[in-house]
Structure 1
Amino acid sequence: MLKIAFKVAYIGTDYHGFQRQPNLPTIEGELLRAFKKSGISDSPEKSDYSIAGRTDRGVSALGNVVCLKTDKDVTINRINYYLPSNIRIIGSTMVSNGFKPRYAKLRHYRYILDKSLCPNTLNLKLMKQAAKQMEGKHNYINFSKRSERAPERMVYSVDLVETPDNIVFDVVGESFLWNMVRKMVKVLVMFGREELTLENLETLFNPDVPAAIKPVASDGLILMDVVYDGIEFPCEGYAVNNFMKTLKQEYARKKTILDVEKEMINVLNGF
């Protein structure tokens, strides 16, 4: 049997997260259904199915990874035929039997923050200083659940840039705890509002001092990539183009909704 890893892209806003759940639409549920209908896997248990990570409800991805064993010929476009248009396998590669997708070299997340949600100007200089302090190995238990058994994480880089409409955060690390990236962004926004100092950040990294941090909304988060030593995922051009088409259609549809709501707000402001 061959062991194959797939690079998966998806728009997460219409799904209840990645992990399969009974009677709810999920990314994993759709993938497993497509694997079965395409004939490459009867069940996840029989095919040694495994994943790089589970994203939360609303989170999108351009580079999540799933893996399975099969004795069938694998054609990406055949699998994609059975997937909704907002989920696409965009690349694949054969891997060794010992390959485990959760043990990646690094993961890259990007968060898009709409500046209109921040009524006051943010102190970008202070945010960037705090972002650099987040790099390296720290105890992130206050950025996840207090019950985490292994809360220390290595973060390789935290960068942010300002565009006319957004602040874009890029976070790269070995692995991440549940809600960790979204809570990191929340803390950086609090720095931008000058609600925290760099000394406060050191306190947040202290596991003996509990802190309640509310994560930013999940729909601004993208899992950009999961990277492995010595493994490349050649992109399937047809699949990528189809996914881009879906993204453009979704963008146009949602922009129309936003324009309608904006017009209604303008009218009501005139009453």
Structure 2
Amino acid sequence: MRYALKLFYDGAGYHGFQIQPGLTTIEAIILETLKKASYITNSRDSAFSYASRTDAGVSALSQVIAFNSPKPPNMRLINSLLPPGLVFWAQSETPDDFNPRRDALSKTYRYYSPFEGEDIELIKRCVRRLEGTHDFKKLSKPDKSRKTCCSIDRINVQLDCNVVLYEFKAKSFLWKLIRKTVSLLKLIGLGVFEPEIIDRVLDPEDSFDPQLQPAPADGLVLYDIKYSFDFQIDSYSLNRLREYLTRIEKYYRVKQQLNNGVLNYLNTLYMNTY
């Protein structure tokens, strides 16, 4: 039988999803865990595959992996063998030829960026120019295996609690496309570029290239992937994920207060300098 599982992971501390010799990656940990739990013997015989090759530092709520196994996976057992920050929380039986990347109907990514005074309404108007089918060569990193002309179905932008949320939906995405697009939109929102620059960036005949640097990886999360079938959610695993996120939220809440205290103290020191 073939099975698909949904995986959450915190990308901090990992060198991306895909296996890289000598580096700690999500895929390497997952494969080792599945072997340890006797669900697979190796990646080739189990036809192990995944939906998205996320970069170092990028997180996922709904990465999807698939593999063949003689027995149905027990997510609670698998999760007990994984390090904190990696949690399987839903699964489904699939056709024998299921491929998580090829068979995805749509993927949704979210990017969280600190608000720095950008004109959000201007950015909202600009994203309409980026939706649809375009040549995104100047907004992606070269990948010889893929054409640069592709489609973005939807981009939503909203400001919440001093964080700008960008949501991208498409069937697939070019390498670095989301992070470079966020960089472009932020620079437009800050007044560094005029909105008309988008037309030049999307024009393959225009030699102009802004040479954009991708926005930081830690703001990006693979939020959801849609397929023609539904996944069964395991409540115990979902609670495990909720508990992990609650611990992390408490840690960063305290960390923020600590940093604020230090900054306030530094400000008092500046007041006494000459």
Q: TM-score, normalised by structure 2?
A: 0.92
**Which residue type is aligned with residue 129 of structure 2?**
Q
1:175 alignment partner, one of 152, 172, 175: 172
- Percent identical across equivalent pairs? 28
Residue number in structure 2 paired with 1:12: 11
The offset of 1:85, in angstroms, is 2.2
The offset of 1:23, in angstroms, is 3.2
- State the number of aligned residues: 265
SS in 2 for 1:91: strand
The offset of 1:239, in angstroms, is 0.6
Aligned residues of 2:92 and 2:231 also touching (Cα < 8 A) = yes
Alpha-carbon distance between aligned partners in 2 of 1:49 and 1:197, rounded to the nearest angstrom:
46
The offset of 1:258, in angstroms, is 2.5
Instruction: State how 1:55-204 maps to structure 2 within 5 Å.
Output: 55-103=54-102, 104-115=104-115, 118=116, 121-146=117-142, 148=144, 149-204=146-201
**Which residue type is aligned with residue 251 of structure 1?**
E
Query: Can you list the C-alpha shifts for 1:67-90, whole angstroms capped at 9, x where unaligned?
Result: 000112321111111111210111
**Which residue type is aligned with residue 74 of structure 1?**
P
The offset of 1:147, in angstroms, is 5.0
Alpha-carbon distance between aligned partners in 2 of 1:130 and 1:45, rounded to the nearest angstrom:
45
**Which residue type is aligned with residue 260 of structure 1?**
L
Residue number in structure 2 paired with 1:29: 28
SS in 1 for 2:7: strand
The offset of 1:126, in angstroms, is 1.1
Bigger shift: 239-248 or 187-196?
187-196
Residue number in structure 1 paired with 2:272: none
**Which residue type is aligned with residue 168 of structure 1?**
L
Residue number in structure 1 paired with 2:253: 255
**Which residue type is aligned with residue 249 of structure 2?**
Y
SS in 1 for 2:12: helix
Instruction: State how 1:47-58 maps to structure 2 within 5 Å.
Output: 47-58=46-57
The offset of 1:112, in angstroms, is 1.0
Residue number in structure 2 paired with 1:207: 204
Alpha-carbon distance between aligned partners in 2 of 1:226 and 1:142, rounded to the nearest angstrom:
26
Q: Residues 30, 262 of structure 1: CA spacing in aligned structure 2 closer, same or farther, 3 A cutoff?
A: same
**Which residue type is aligned with residue 177 of structure 1?**
L
Query: Can you list the C-alpha shifts for 1:135-159, whole angstroms capped at 9, x where unaligned?
Result: 1011111111245440112111000
Query: Can you list the C-alpha shifts for 1:206-251, whole angstroms capped at 9, x where unaligned?
Result: 22423311111111111001111x2111211111110110111012
SS in 2 for 1:167: strand
Q: Residues 43, 147 of structure 1: CA spacing in aligned structure 2 closer, same or farther, 3 A cutoff?
A: closer
The offset of 1:56, in angstroms, is 0.9
1:217 aligns with 2:216: yes
Query: Can you list the C-alpha shifts for 1:9-54, whole angstroms capped at 9, x where unaligned?
Result: 1111121111122332211111111101111011101101111111
Aligned residues of 1:135 and 1:158 also touching (Cα < 8 A) = yes
Alpha-carbon distance between aligned partners in 2 of 1:54 and 1:45, rounded to the nearest angstrom:
18
Q: Which runs of 5+ in 1 are unaligned?
A: none
- What RMSD in Å do the two structures reach over aligned CA positions? 1.4
SS in 2 for 1:13: coil
Q: Which runs of 5+ in 2 are unaligned?
A: 270-274
SS in 1 for 2:196: helix
Query: Can you list the C-alpha shifts for 1:168-207, whole angstroms capped at 9, x where unaligned?
Result: 1111011111111011111111121122233210111122
Aligned residues of 1:39 and 1:72 also touching (Cα < 8 A) = no
Q: TM-score, normalised by structure 1?
A: 0.93
**Which residue type is aligned with residue 198 of structure 2?**
L
Bigger shift: 60-69 or 143-152?
143-152
Bigger shift: 237-246 or 69-78?
69-78
Alpha-carbon distance between aligned partners in 2 of 1:26 and 1:258, rounded to the nearest angstrom:
28
Bigger shift: 189-198 or 92-101?
189-198
